Amino acid sequence: MSKDEALFILQLIGGPKGGGVKSGGGAKGTGKTIHGETRANQRGFSNDKINDIKNNYSHKVYQSGGRTVYAKKNGNYYDVVVINRKGEVITTVGGNTKSLKTWKDVTKMLNNQGGFSSLPVD
């Protein structure tokens, strides 16, 4: 497991010792967790792009822990934004990496991160 994958999993389960990842520091006031801010910057997701994906998604699914996943086809690739129950961006996938070519790629990624449902889980 890479360091990035481990950090993502810690984000999903509430961080080390159950403390969660806070929105302080570099992400303060952005509507993103620190991990979400880092990933958005690395993958070329501006606030406008994130809002466009949330408002004009082609797929919307849910994950446990109150997470909502928005995916939007962008040319030949999908861009994905994952929001926690507080409405904060916890991660973005795709963007300038162009790593998600098909919906199957998106579902594979989601299944590797605990699965997904077409109905809210909790």
Q: Provide the whole-model pTM.
A: 0.76
Q: How many domains does the chain have?
A: 1
Closest to 89 measured CA to CA, from 77, 78, 80: 80
**Cα–Cα distance list, 121 to 4, 6, 8, 22, 68 (Å):** 25, 23, 20, 23, 10
Rg for the chain, CA atoms, rounded: 13
* Residues 49-79: tens digit of each pLDDT: 999 999 999 999 999 999 999 999 999 999 9
Confidence (pLDDT) at 122: 77
121 within some domain:
no
117 within some domain:
no
119 within some domain:
no
Q: Which domain holds residue 87?
A: 3-112
Residues of the chain falling short of pLDDT 70: 1-29
49 within some domain:
yes
100 within some domain:
yes
